[in-house]
Copies of this chain bind each other. A is one copy, B any other.
Amino acid sequence: MGMVGGGKDAFIGAIHRLAANMDGLIELCCGALSINPEIAKDSGKMLFLPEDRTYLTFDEMITKESQLPEDKRMDFVTIVTPNFAHFAPAMMAMDHGFHVVIEKPIAFTLDEAKQLKQKQAETGRILCLTHTYSGYPMVKQAKAMVREGAFGKIRKVWVEYPQGWLSKLSEREGNAQAAWRTDPKRSGKSGCMGDIGTHAAHLAEYVTGLKITHMCADLNAMVEGRLLDDDGNVLLKLENGATGVLMASQVAAGEENGIRIRVYGEKGGCEWYQHEPNTLLVKWLDAPAQILRAGANYPGRLSSFATHNCRTPGGHPEGYLEAFANIYRNFALTLSAQIDGTSTTPEMLDFPGVEDGIRGMAFIDNVVASAQSTEKWTAHIVE
């Protein structure tokens, strides 16, 4: 694995390294860790990278790695730069034969995302997008139960993602995270919806197996002086007549990272909350609710999609890093299978990819368009 971005003090880069490292399947072997050469070098040292594989630009990294013997060079590139700097290294990596893992959102614009899709098709590379929350085993359990019809036809989905960390104008107070995430030039045309609304939309579609078809959005910059939305509420129509609400906020003061989804069908529903991620609350119209718990030792009780993504038996809580690592692990298993010519399983193939990335970019476009419209409904057109 070669990493683009993620120098010291970068939040998400460290998370990617931990996640990739967790299962012993992936090793960081090189990096272009910062556009600041000092930071790039220091970060490489800190991460025990050899000096000659501590690159100063992604261009240099991809070029030089592709010149190494096949068994020495990195297998894939992980891109953890700010949103505007995803596209170029991803394109170049695939062009040079490398697979790619991209921190979400996949790109800066929908058009870029579509180009990435085309490039992937041309090159046959694997593209993995780290929509973390679909990596949790109990999210996969929810999806499996919906798919198997446990709840009957799905009627409703409520998905919410409250955070409070942008309750003040922190981008003017030296908070680097806040600075780039609220800056249209680096973050894109949406703040809150681009950053966390896309996670919520992905989760809703992932669990229900239904596509969002229409949106009615109210986006706001609640903090005076902010350039992008920091809060938004969106009515949803989904396929097959289901409806929903998506709420995301970065000014829900006192909230941490409370992504939660509730799905209801004709016969029951389920609820998952990231702060207690090892529990899936399952509700039934005609019977008491049940508490399903994650655990590698519950093969008869849980779907294989859930148990495949558990490392520990019930009662040994796994968390965010493990969910993240599941994405890397499934990507790595799929990659190994491709390299070894062995067969893949549906469980290992269940990680987000370029289609999810495109839907995410289209979501940003369409939710912003809806917010600007006086019409109630805006179609969520992706192609």
**Residue positions of A touching B, CB distance < 8 A:** 11, 14-15, 17-18, 21-24, 28, 47-48, 151, 155-156, 158, 160, 162-164, 167-168, 216, 218, 220, 222, 231, 233, 235, 237, 241, 243-245, 247, 249, 251-258, 262, 264-269, 274-278, 282-285, 287-293, 295, 301, 311-322, 373-377
Q: A253-B264, A253-B265 are known contacts. Are A317 and B274 too (CB-CB below 8 A)?
A: yes
Contact B167 A266 (CB under 8 A): yes
The 8 A-B residue pairs with the shortest CB-CB distance, nearest first, are A254-B283, A256-B315, A257-B315, A317-B319, A316-B320, A253-B285, A319-B319, A256-B314
Contact A268 B256 (CB under 8 A): no
Residues of B within 8 A of A265 (CB): 253
Residues of B within 8 A of A222 (CB): 155-156, 241, 243
> In the complex, A319→B312 CA distance in Å?
10
Number of copies: 4
Residues of B within 8 A of A24 (CB): 17-18, 21, 28, 47-48
> In the complex, A267→B168 CA distance in Å?
9
A156-B251, A167-B266, A312-B321 are known; give 4 further A-B pairs, CB within 8 A: A233-B243, A289-B293, A311-B321, A375-B375
> In the complex, A201→B71 CA distance in Å?
51
Name the residue on B nearest A318 (C-beta): B319
List 24 interface pairs A-B (beta carbons < 8 Å), by A numbering.
A15-B312, A15-B316, A18-B311, A22-B321, A155-B231, A156-B222, A156-B231, A156-B251, A163-B315, A164-B283, A233-B245, A253-B283, A254-B269, A255-B283, A256-B293, A256-B315, A258-B315, A276-B276, A288-B291, A288-B292, A288-B293, A311-B321, A375-B375, A376-B376
Residues of B within 8 A of A314 (CB): 256-257
| Whole-angstrom distance between the Cβ of A321 and the nearest chain B Cβ | 7
Pick the residue among B47, B163, B245, B321 that contacts A245 (CB under 8 A). Answer: B245
> In the complex, A321→B319 CA distance in Å?
9
Contact B316 A257 (CB under 8 A): yes
Pick the residue among B257, B264, B313 that contacts A252 (CB under 8 A). Answer: B264
> In the complex, A261→B17 CA distance in Å?
33
| Whole-angstrom distance between the Cβ of A87 and the nearest chain B Cβ | 27
Name the residue on B nearest A257 (C-beta): B315
Residues of B within 8 A of A220 (CB): 243
Contact A315 B269 (CB under 8 A): no
Contact A164 B285 (CB under 8 A): yes
Name the residue on B nearest A253 (C-beta): B285
Contact B11 A313 (CB under 8 A): yes
Residues of B within 8 A of A233 (CB): 235, 243-245
Pick the residue among B164, B216, B256, B258 that contacts A376 (CB under 8 A). Answer: B216
Pick the residue among B156, B247, B322 that contacts A319 (CB under 8 A). Answer: B322
Residues of B within 8 A of A22 (CB): 18, 21-22, 321
> In the complex, A36→B314 CA distance in Å?
28
| Whole-angstrom distance between the Cβ of A8 and the nearest chain B Cβ | 13
Pick the residue among B15, B252, B256, B320 that contacts A156 (CB under 8 A). Answer: B252
Name the residue on B nearest A285 (C-beta): B253
Residues of B within 8 A of A320 (CB): 312, 316-318
Contact A317 B275 (CB under 8 A): yes
Residues of B within 8 A of A18 (CB): 22-24, 311
Residues of B within 8 A of A274 (CB): 315, 317
Q: A274-B317, A375-B375, A376-B374 are known contacts. Are A253 and B151 too (CB-CB below 8 A)?
A: yes
Pick the residue among B235, B244, B269, B318 that contacts A216 (CB under 8 A). Answer: B235
